[in-house]
Amino acid sequence: MGVYARGYKLSQLDRSGGADDLTHINYAFGNIHYQSLECFIANKAQGTGPNGSDGAGDAWADFGMGYSAADSVSGVADAWDQPLAGSFNQLKQLKAKHPGLKALISIGGWTWSKNFSAAAATDASRKKLVSSCIDLYIKGNLPVIDGRGGAGAAAGVFDGIDIDWEWPGSPNGNVGNIVDEANDRNNFRLLLKEFRTQLDALGAQTGKHYLLSAFLPANPVDIAAGGWNDPEIFDYLDYGNVQGYDLHGAWDTSRTGHQANLYDDPANTLPADKRFSVDKAVKQYVNAGIDPVQLGIGLAAYGRGWSGVASSTPWSSASGAAPAPTRRASRTTTS
């Protein structure tokens, strides 16, 4: 959902018929607080802290923004004093109309993975992080902000948690991320085990199975650094989604290339350790003993482009990124 510039709402997904084809929706992202090392929600703009993530959140989009009857999945306008509004309430309404649909909260992402390493560092900090995430997103105990939220306000919105730590043990994540190259791999494994343990304990009380998934890297270096292909972690995960996109992009402004190629391109002029493909990534997992049934492949619903390109031949030279397309009112693109 892009409730600001894109103006995209879940009611559009419902009315287009697209929701009929979905089994899971990941809502991105949840953040980890730099001081408490817990899951939290706040209204604080991106741009604070060493890498722009410390204390950042968007409670307004999550559960504060009121929807009109025309924009709502249910066709009923939000009341000014209801505890749950925003995207969370729209997810809850969408699930009511599509009972087989599951929603997961994705924690981290490229921008908000900074504090994973610190939160996973000890048994006590792992227990604290996991408990806070379950309390906030699964039990739905939201902070009260501008009259919205409260105990149990978001109960039933999320069916599980998606771990999007980019990347344990690797310096290839966002600038400013905390990285412990010696210990992240094992601490990541223990963190997933703790999530599984606490989710199952709650499920024993409620009679539900809570999902645990992860966003899996495609770069073999990142896979090895974080132990993502360790079969043990798939004892804790229901499944993982392999990043099959952003394999190449305009962050390398000097050459064009594929951003989501299925197989290696023999014409690829990048160094051998930068020649990524979906096939190569999936083999890193399957060859390590991961059951293919637990793997999904992420594909992008968007493209990447360059400017200053003199040839249509892939991997030819470029001078920079292509300008972003102007969104047309008659069409909405989501990813």
Catalytic residues: 166
Alpha carbons 106 and 168: distance in angstroms, whole number: 16
Alpha carbons 156 and 138: distance in angstroms, whole number: 7
Could you tell me the CA-to-CA distances from 222 to 119, 145, 185, 218, 315 in Å, in that order? 19, 38, 10, 8, 24
Q: Within the chain, what is the greatest distance between any pair of CA atoms?
A: 63
Q: At what angle do helices 184-206 and 123-133 cross, to 10 degrees?
A: 40
Q: Quote the DSSP letter at residue 211.
A: E
Q: Could you tell me if 109 and 29 are in contact, meaning their C-beta atoms sit under 8 angstroms apart?
A: yes
Q: Could you tell me if 214 and 147 are in contact, meaning their C-beta atoms sit under 8 angstroms apart?
A: no
In a 10 Å sphere around its CB, with 0-12 CB exposed, 13-18 middle and 19+ buried, how is residue 99 labelled? exposed
Q: Quote the DSSP letter at residue 200.
A: H
* Residue in the block written with tokens 């306000």: 153
Strands 43-44 and 39-40 turn out to be unpaired
**Nearest to residue 225, comparing CAs of 263, 198, 197, 187?**
187
Instruction: Please work out, in degrees rounded to the nearest 5, the angle formed at the alpha carbon of residue 103 by the alpha carbons of 332 and 150.
Output: 105
Q: Could you tell me if 262 and 278 are in contact, meaning their C-beta atoms sit under 8 angstroms apart?
A: yes
Provide the phi-psi class of 162: left if phi over 0, else alpha when psi is between -120 and 50, else beta. Answer: beta
